[in-house]
């Protein structure tokens, strides 16, 4: 127990000296992980970062994905009794050497190779939590941390397509058919747009000054990435305004996919968003849809 306490103190002291690292690594905690599970897996991540030299705080990479996956494999083995092919077991045992977990669950096997009732009772809560997501870094609801890197190549291609389209149309302006430009460019990249419409009167948390209750709100996404929101007297007008807002992001030197906090049904959530390089002086409009809910949000909405 003393050894475990020294390990926790060392980790806490290290994170206290590196607040940016502490904030970054905390984003990888699964929504359903207990404090005990997370503290152990966090130590696994910190101990093994040096073995993945391309892993940098705040930067997504394949190396980070691998480290996160190995951390979940290790945690599944420790807390759920999961077994993996021998090379994988050898790897995680080597990486987990020196990490002390207080009172880890005891996993026993019956003659048919199943865990005993005692072991099942110890791990029952962990099994249910594990169903919330397959990746270590995912939350019960929210995009996985590697999602921006996975989507960025597509939006780089879309950026080029939109840039050429705007040049041929004479530049960005109020007389353009913004939705048609956006739709045709997305389809040229072999994808489709998703438009969600909600009556304006049903929206909570509208920007200050928008008090009218007539009309509709449109939200545009592509590949689950939020692109823009528009307000109009009807769905067609709202869609046109949302497309115009989405195209504004393509006027800079590049577009970037990021995970940002915004409101959805009265609560803060992490959403996948397409942004330009311009600093924002105000928050994002509330989300009309949320494609990262997993099983369900805590309030039971789905």
pLDDT for 60 beyond 90: no
With a CB cutoff of 8 Å and minimum separation 6, the contacts of 287 are: 219, 226, 262, 263, 264, 269, 271
d(CA 302, CA 244): 29
With a CB cutoff of 8 Å and minimum separation 6, the contacts of 211 are: none
Length of the chain: 302
d(CA 235, CA 122): 53
The pLDDT assigned to 149 comes to: 92
With a CB cutoff of 8 Å and minimum separation 6, the contacts of 300 are: none
CATH (one of 3.30.160.20, 3.30.70.20, 3.40.30.10, 3.40.50.720) for 147-275 = 3.30.160.20
CB distance 167 to 202 below 8 Å: no
User: Residue 22, exposed/middle/buried by CB under 10 A (0-12, 13-18, 19+)?
Assistant: middle
Domain-by-domain residue ranges, the chain? 2-130, 147-275
Confidence of residue 105 (pLDDT cuts 50, 70, 90): confident
Tell which wins on pLDDT, 232 or 131.
232
Q: Where are the alpha helices (DSSP H) in the chain?
A: 2-17, 19-26, 35-48, 62-75, 86-95, 117-130, 147-168, 178-188, 235-248
Closest by CA position to 274, among listed 154, 161, 171: 154
The pLDDT assigned to 186 comes to: 93
Q: What is the pTM of this model?
A: 0.52
The pLDDT assigned to 212 comes to: 56
Report pLDDT digits (tens) over 3-53.
Answer: 444 545 566 676 767 777 788 888 888 756 788 888 888 889 888 888 887
d(CA 149, CA 258): 9
Tell which wins on pLDDT, 113 or 148.
148
Report pLDDT digits (tens) over 168-206.
Answer: 888 777 788 999 999 999 999 988 999 999 888 877 655
């Amino acid at each position: 127990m003393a050894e475990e306490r020294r390990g926790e103190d060392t980790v806490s002291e290290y994170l206290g000296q590196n607040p940016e690292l502490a904030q970054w690594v905390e984003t990888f905690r699964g929504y359903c992980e207990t404090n005990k599970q997370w503290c152990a897996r966090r130590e696994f991540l910190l101990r093994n970062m040096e073995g993945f030299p391309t892993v940098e705080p705040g930067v997504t990479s394949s190396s980070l994905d691998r480290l996160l996956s190995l951390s979940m494999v290790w945690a599944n083995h420790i807390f759920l009794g999961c077994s993996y092919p021998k090379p994988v077991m050898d790897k995680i045992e080597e990486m987990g050497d020196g990490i002390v977990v207080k009172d880890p669950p005891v996993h026993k096997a019956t003659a048919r190779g199943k865990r005993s009732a005692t072991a099942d009772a110890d791990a029952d809560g962990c099994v249910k939590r594990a169903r919330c997501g397959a990746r270590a870094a995912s939350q019960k609801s929210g995009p996985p941390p590697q999602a921006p890197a996975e989507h960025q190549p597509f939006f780089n291609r879309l950026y080029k397509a939109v840039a050429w389209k705007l040049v041929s149309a004479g530049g960005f302006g109020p007389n353009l058919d913004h939705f048609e430009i956006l739709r045709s460019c997305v389809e040229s990249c072999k994808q489709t747009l998703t438009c969600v419409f909600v009556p304006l009167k049903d929206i909570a948390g509208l920007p200050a000054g928008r008090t009218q209750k007539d009309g509709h709100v449109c939200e545009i996404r592509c590949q689950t990435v939020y692109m823009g929101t528009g307000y109009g007297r009807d769905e067609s007008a709202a869609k046109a305004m949302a497309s115009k807002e989405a195209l504004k992001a393509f006027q800079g030197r590049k577009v970037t996919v990021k995970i940002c906090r915004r409101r959805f049904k009265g609560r803060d959530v992490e959403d996948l968003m397409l942004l330009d390089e311009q600093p924002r002086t105000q928050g994002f409009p509330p989300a009309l849809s949320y494609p990262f809910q997993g099983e369900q949000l805590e309030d039971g909405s789905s």
